[in-house]
Amino acid sequence: MKTIAYIGTSLDGFIARKEGEIDWLIQFDDQETSQSYSEFISNIDAIVIGRGTYEKVLTFPTWFYLQKVFVLSSQTKQIPDSLKEKVTVLSMQPKELLLHLSNKGYSNIYVDGGKVIQSFLKENLLDELIITRVPVLIGNGIPLFGWLDHDITFKHVHTNIFSNGLVKSHYQKKQE
Ligand SMILES: NC(=O)c1ccc[n+]([C@@H]2O[C@H](COP(=O)([O-])OP(=O)(O)OC[C@H]3O[C@@H](n4cnc5c(N)ncnc54)[C@H](OP(=O)(O)O)[C@@H]3O)[C@@H](O)[C@H]2O)c1
């Protein structure tokens, strides 16, 4: 099983403004960035997001995930009828969740949302990071990374520089 985070961050390390706005990020969406995302997502068979990301995605005009989505939440109970086949809400810790997904046959897991990524990193359960730096400082917001009680060393795999100034770097965790 492989776990991968694919996420956009401001130069100062935020994934959204304090209230969750990502206007500073989506202004850079273009054909190159969406092709890069399509290539990544085509190898994914399950998506894990936190309640924060789920609530944001629900505000978009359409549900765009093609793969099964697992929402981590201790609070969310109701899922809209139109999403009942596509979304499952679970209240689990990362290790337990990965065992659950593995038992269901999933092997390439996309992990998304700031707090969720941090909780996976705390348990050293993220194998790959694909981080796209957006050339803007937003000064404040929801951070990508947080406190860790151990170092995690990654190997740089490659970096793409998009014509609009975004820089996407792919890292794989070094085997201990
Ligand atoms: N820049 C990007 O590429 C990008 C990507 C994704 C999201 N975002 C933005 O990031 C914001 C959401 O990020 P976020 O950090 O606030 O939230 P998040 O990680 O999406 O969700 C966090 C919530 O998930 C629940 N949760 C349950 N189990 C958890 C676990 N093991 N670890 C962590 N959380 C768990 C908790 O909610 P309960 O209280 O329900 O338990 C927690 O408050 C949104 O505004 C979204 O638009 C940006």
Average pLDDT over residues 31-56: 97
Residue of 7, 15, 87 to test ligand 1 pocket, by largest number of atoms within 8 Å of CB: 15
The pLDDT of residue 171: 98
Q: Are 115 and 130 in contact (CB under 8 A)?
A: no
Question: Across-strand partners of 154?
Answer: 173
Q: Whose CA is nearest to atom 24 of ligand 1?
A: 50
SS3 (DSSP) at 15: strand
Q: How far apart are CA 6 and CA 117, in angstroms?
A: 10
116-164 confidence digits (pLDDT tens): 999 999 999 999 999 999 999 999 999 999 999 999 999 999 999 999 9
Q: Does residue 55 have a pLDDT over 90?
A: yes
Q: Which atom of ligand 1 is nearest to the CA of 22?
A: 47
Model pLDDT for residues 6-38, shown as the tens digit of each residue:
999 999 999 999 999 999 999 999 999 999 999
pLDDT at 78 over 90: no
Burial zone of 62 (CB within 10 Å; 0-12 exposed, 13-18 middle, 19+ buried): exposed
How much is the mean pLDDT over the chain? Answer: 97
Answer whether 141 contacts ligand 1 (Cβ < 6 A).
no
